[in-house]
Amino acid sequence: MLRKKGALELSVGTIVVIVLAVTMLILGMVLVRSIMCSAVGLTGEINTKIKGEINKLFQSTAGEVVCIGSGEEPITIVPGKINIIYCAIKAPQEAEYNIKVKSISGNILANRELEKWVVGDDFWKGRIAPGDEIPKKTLRLQVPEEAPHDLVTVSVEIYREGNLISTQQLDFEIKRIGFFRAAVC
């Protein structure tokens, strides 16, 4: 009789452990799923924030072409990642636009070093129609992980149908972000 009672207690303990393990597994999967879903949502949120920032710049400058970094405050760029500089164009009529990087300079960093950070071409070219206000990826900067904290100024020239219509100075600040913020944001 005692043997059967002991065997019963062992199997109840085993069942409890199995139930707890399955519960923890399910909770872990739900947690991972929620993190992944929020990361996918961040992508759409970033695009919305970029459009909002550009619309705010359009309202303050009332220009035909506006780029991120042309506002009053420098935009933060993060070392170790590709940082994309967006420009938006409010074309009064359909035209060929060309945005060229004239120069890149920093307070601490040498111009030659900064020019190595440019990924791909240092210009953007495209045909824009009225109503097309989708921000264009004008320039990509691959900032090295070991880059020092610095203020970087990018000078761009904007051409419409081959004629220079604007020159803008875009200000960016190289700034590190914490581990937790980098993982979440």
pLDDT the model gives residue 181: 46
Q: Does residue 87 register a pLDDT over 80? A: yes
β-pair partners for 97:
126, 160
- Residues 138 and 120: beta-carbon distance below 8 Å: no
| Averaged pLDDT for residues 93-115 | 85
Q: Are residues 80 and 133 part of one domain? A: yes
Residue given tokens 């890149």 in the structure block: 104
Q: Are residues 58 and 69 part of one domain? A: no
Q: Are residues 111 and 86 part of one domain? A: yes
**Between these two residues, 149 and 61, which has the higher pLDDT value?**
149
The kind and range of the H/E element at 6 are helix 2-61
Residue pLDDT, tens place only, 89-102? 888 888 899 989 88
- Mean pLDDT computed over every residue of the chain: 77
Q: Are residues 106 and 19 part of one domain? A: no
Q: Are residues 17 and 68 part of one domain? A: no
Query: Where are the strands (E) in 107-143, listed by range?
Result: 118-119, 123-128, 136-142
Which strands sit side by side in the sheet containing 136-142, from one edge to the other? 65-67, 82-89, 136-142, 118-119
Q: Are residues 112 and 72 part of one domain? A: yes
Q: Does residue 182 register a pLDDT over 50? A: no
> 32, 47, 62: which is the final residue of a domain?
62
pLDDT the model gives residue 180: 44
pLDDT the model gives residue 2: 52
pLDDT the model gives residue 183: 47
pLDDT the model gives residue 36: 67
Q: Are residues 27 and 16 part of one domain? A: yes
> 11, 30, 62: which is the final residue of a domain?
62
Residue pLDDT, tens place only, 116-150? 888 888 788 888 888 887 788 888 888 888 888 88
pTM above 0.75, yes or no: no
Q: Are residues 72 and 55 part of one domain? A: no
Residue pLDDT, tens place only, 11-51? 778 888 888 999 998 888 888 777 766 665 565 566 566 66
* CATH code at position 153: 2.60.40.2550
Q: Are residues 82 and 4 part of one domain? A: no
Q: Are residues 68 and 58 part of one domain? A: no
Q: What range does the domain containing 96 cover?
A: 63-184
Q: Are residues 85 and 52 part of one domain? A: no
> 62, 78, 105: which is the final residue of a domain?
62
**Between these two residues, 176 and 156, which has the higher pLDDT value?**
156
Q: Are residues 21 and 76 part of one domain? A: no
Closest CA to 156 of 110, 112, 108, 121: 121
| The total number of structural domains that make up the chain | 2
pLDDT the model gives residue 77: 83
